[in-house]
Structure 1
Amino acid sequence: MHDLVIRNATVFDGLGGDPIQADVAVDSGRIAGIGSIEGQANHTVDADGLSLAPGIVDLHTHYDAQITWDKTLSPSPSLGVTSAVIGNCGFGIVPCPPPVRDLILRNLSVVEGMDLDSLRNGVDWNFENFADYMSALRRIGPYMNVAVLAGHSVIRTAVMGEDASRREQATEEELQAMCSMVDEAMSHGAVGFAGSYSLNHSGYGGVPMPSTISNWTEFDHLVSAMGDHQHGIVQLASGTSPVADLAALSAKHGRAIFQSTGMAMFNEQEPDRALGIFDACATANADGHPVYVQIPCQPLSFDFTMANAYPFYSHDAFAEIKACNHEELTAVFRDPAFRERFRASLNDPRPGMIFQGNWNRVTVAIPALEANEALANQTIETLARSQGR
């Protein structure tokens, strides 16, 4: 007798084949059969008219804070996600010595577009180190399976405080402390180590996210600190780092590397660049040094206002104004000199920038003023042409 049989479902097996009408048997939490299942079961579900598919594994999420107050991890389960990896890009919330907790949240609020008041009011700080965090997650009992990556930026912040976003070179003592935290995380269930060298990753007040200013030697040491643990991958928002460097890191430490980079996504300015990255990864894999591209299967989209124009932050014109308040920004945006600097940067975009001057892709979603309601759903390019600009 099976533990569970789901009968008469339209089954999608996740391998790309056509759906089939079938029963699915489950024993001890594992699929025991697909097809016409005979006999009784301890529990039977009639799925006639319904679809049955494997749960989606979301490899790139940032539920690190939300999970402490929302065990449903909304909205992912309602979208078919049954497993999620958190801590991507190194932007977690642990380790978290009390003096740097608000700093961690401030940076997280900007780099991942989260409401700072919600973070401050929502996070239940009943942990300080990685072991305590994992214990807290087990007590919470999230709806989904959750895997946690140890994070470079949060570890750097825990050790260096405000200096983590100011000082490129860590002291030997600071580096050793960071390595110890990576080792501790791996010992208590981390599935790997994550970091970022993306020029698009800015924190609160426009400061760089800590890992993005660290040197490659520091990252190499921290990957090395994963040590003799027989598990663990490396996830990296790799920025402009070439695949050859990632393959060398994989070869040196025997770790699979998952790189998240806008450079592996198609853009009109460099239409062949993304394919070149995939080809380089294929070569590395063939050589036994696994490097995989981790990007969405659809274009990136951002909701933003000019008060927090995150997609533009990697452009030089925005470097000095990221921390400006509303009144200051209003004056800056009206300044012809600023506009010229922004145009100059758009005319010579650096590899890896989120926004490369594609004004035909920027759409007015919700006008803030009633007088501008007619602008809704129009692109900036369309509006500029209609105004002769």
Structure 2
Amino acid sequence: MADYDLVIRGGTVADGTGNGLRDLDVAVQDGKIAALGKISGQGTEEIDARGLLVTPGFVDIHTHYDGQATWDSRLQPSSWHGVTTAVMGNCGVGFAPVKVADRRRLVELMEGVEDIPGAALDEGLNWSWESFGQYLDALDARPRDMDLGAQLPHGALRVFVMGERAAKLEEATPDEVAQMRALATEAMHAGALGFSTSRTLNHRTVKGDPTPSLRASEAELLGIALGMKDAGRGVIEFISDFNTPDPETEFAMLDRLLAASGRPFSVSLAQRHTKPEGWRRLLGLVEGLAAKGHSAKAQVAPRPIGVLQGLQASRIPFSMCRSYKAIAHKTVAERLAIMRDPAFRMQLLEESHEPLRSDMAARLVDYDRMFPLGDPPDYEPPRETSLGARARREGRDPREIVYDYLIEGEGRNFIFAPFANYAAYNLDCCSEMMQSPHTLIGLGDGGAHVGLISDGSYPTYLLSHWARDRKAGRLDLSWLVKRHTLDNAGAVGLTDRGRVAEGYKADLNVIDFDKLRVEAPAMKWDLPAGGKRLLQRATGYRATIVSGSVTYRDGEPTGALPGKLVRGPQTVS
């Protein structure tokens, strides 16, 4: 008889606390870490980790698997990147609670805000729920390759209570606020990890309508926060433009909400290229909340936030041109053949000089912030490698450079176009943000923006780039592991994981750190109804372990699906 279910031998352990690396054996029994040190006993299964890095499983607190988790047991791409616990229901969007008449509205909201094909959601969602608790039950019924937690989304909650009036951004009545408060309490008791809301103009339905929570009153937000207080649990996730009328006014409201509810809070933070120093002001306001005794953090990203443009993606720099709109519905091969026609090329390039009508359209043609993504992808590309800089060197119109690049490589080329965190053409701002004690690593959006963004690979990039590959300003490996394990887990109330210590949940990664890297993204047409999504794999993960079971070996699934729905806060038992 073996002494343990699993023994990982001779690995170099980054235990999640930020302490120095140690060479240890790790023994696992009944889904938990049973012993550390020099293990003399035998395991039913053993992993030789000599020369390899052993870490806790990564905890991704900002994903959007709300639809995919109902039809798919493998939460890829995140599970390829060492994530063993994911939290979804962010940005105020999701699918519960919901009335039959409002299902289409929630699909349109998710499609618009998170770029998940509506046809895939229509086919994939079985809508076997109405209440948030019933939605959790539906999630609980499916085994998966990682643990999953869900938050109550404000958009769905508001539409459930107010119907059409929510979509029209009308103010909730006192009775409606009371209903939301009761439903928030019910959702927290059912197992929600928290509540999320959005107050940004960037979040719109696929029809262009603003997110229902955009103008929710302080009284409404307070009612929901008090519902969480009534339940005695749950975190608040908040997104805003912070420009109406000014950040200080909105943070004063947040101060009142947190003082009344006592709930932990996080807000998304990134560097805007139009206001490159503005993030410091917002982080200072978060620090001000913390100084008053509130549990307040900012979620930040470890690399630029940007879109991937290409013939396989949802957009290209010519998407607003009449000639391209006329062929946009065609297959990649068909569009590629048309775009190779010199006459079409001349016509489209002529149209591309016409005035643009929106800020979003302008983003698509910022040629000095367009970079060939490459393989392996470069997320901190030098300024001189931009397609705009290349055009100046060659004395050509940048539109021609972009056009030619798009039709090279059989239409599989991607242009990386960062629109946040890259104002100075480097990631120094990300380094500063990550090193603040008032931030969390997040914003990867796994499962979302499937035709434009592929940031679910953040966990791999966080370690490989910042601890190994960056030429200057590298960060300590053990500390980086802590940031994406113990810190994130604790921020959402999951204090039973994120650390390699006896009694903790046996969620682990065994990594060949020298070979760890992010692969180039590829478009796959594997969503329901043939929907497309960007998928990005990694190399270097020798094993990923969830609750003591090996789920992936060398990036390939083992067939084990030990992942569970996490209902509410968890502690070491």
What is aligned with 1:279?
284
Per-residue deviation, 1:190 = 0.7
> Is this contact kept in 1: 2:368–2:386, CA < 8 A?
no
The 5-angstrom pairing of residues 1-389 of structure 1 reads 1-16=3-18, 19-240=21-242, 241-242=247-248, 243-260=251-268, 264-303=269-308, 326=325, 339=356, 342=358, 359-363=367-371, 379=387, 386-387=396-397
Q: Output the amino acid matched with 2:230.
A: D
C-alpha change, 1:267 and 1:106, in structure 2 (3 Å) is closer
Q: TM-score scaled by structure 2?
A: 0.55
How many correspondences in the alignment?
A: 354
> d(CA) in 2 for partners of 1:174 and 1:108?
23
Q: Which moved more, 1:125-134 or 1:36-45?
A: 36-45
- Kindly tell me: are residues 305 and 170 of structure 1, through their superposed partners in 2, closer, same or farther at Cα, counting changes over 3 Å? farther
Q: Alpha-carbon deviation of 1:50? A: 4.0
Query: Within 2, Cα distance between the matches of 1:220 and 1:149?
Result: 17
CA distance in 1, matches of 2:276, 2:153: 32
Q: Which amino acid aligns with 2:215?
A: I
Q: Which amino acid aligns with 1:82?
A: T
Distance (whole Å) between structure 1 residues aligned to residue 232 and residue 270 of structure 2: 32
Residues 359/197 of structure 1: CA separation in 2 closer, same or farther (3 Å cut): farther
Letter in 2 for 1:167: L
Compute the displacement of 1:54 (Å): 0.7
Q: CA deviation at 1:70?
A: 0.3
Code of the residue aligned with 1:204 in structure 2: it is V
1:168/1:215 contact within 8 Å kept: no
The answer to whether the 8 A contact 2:158-2:213 is kept is yes
- In 2, the alpha carbon distance for the partners of 1:211 and 1:59 equals 21
In 1, Cα distance between the equivalents of 2:352 and 2:40? 75
Greater RCO (Cα-Cα under 8 Å, separation 6 or more): 2
Between structures 1 and 2, the one with greater helix share: 1
Contact preservation (8 Å) 2:309, 2:316: yes
SS where residue 126 of structure 1 aligns? Answer: coil
Aligned-partner residue type, residue 52 of structure 1: V
In 2, the alpha carbon distance for the partners of 1:53 and 1:290 equals 26
Q: Conserved in 2, the CA contact under 8 Å of 1:175 and 1:218?
A: yes
Is contact 2:188-2:194 (8 Å) kept?
A: yes
Change (3 A) 1:362 1:217: farther
Report the Cα offset of residue 12 of structure 1.
2.8
RMSD: 3.6
CA contact (8 A) 1:247 1:291 kept: no
- Residue 273 and residue 96 in structure 1: after superposition, are their counterparts in 2 closer, same or farther (change >3 A)? same
How big is each residue's C-alpha offset from its partner over 1:88-130, in whole Å with a ceiling of 9 and x where there is no partner?
A: 0111111121111122112111210111111111112211111
Contact 1:250–1:289, Cα closer than 8 Å, also in 2: yes
The whole-number CA distance in structure 1 between the counterparts of 2:192 and 2:64 is 15
Runs of 5+ unmatched residues, structure 1: 312-320, 347-354, 367-376
SS in structure 1 at match of 2:145 = coil
The 3 A distance-change label for structure 1 pair 125 and 304 is farther
Secondary structure of 2:177's aligned partner: helix
Change (3 A) 1:268 1:337: closer
The Cα of 1:136 is off from its aligned counterpart by 1.2
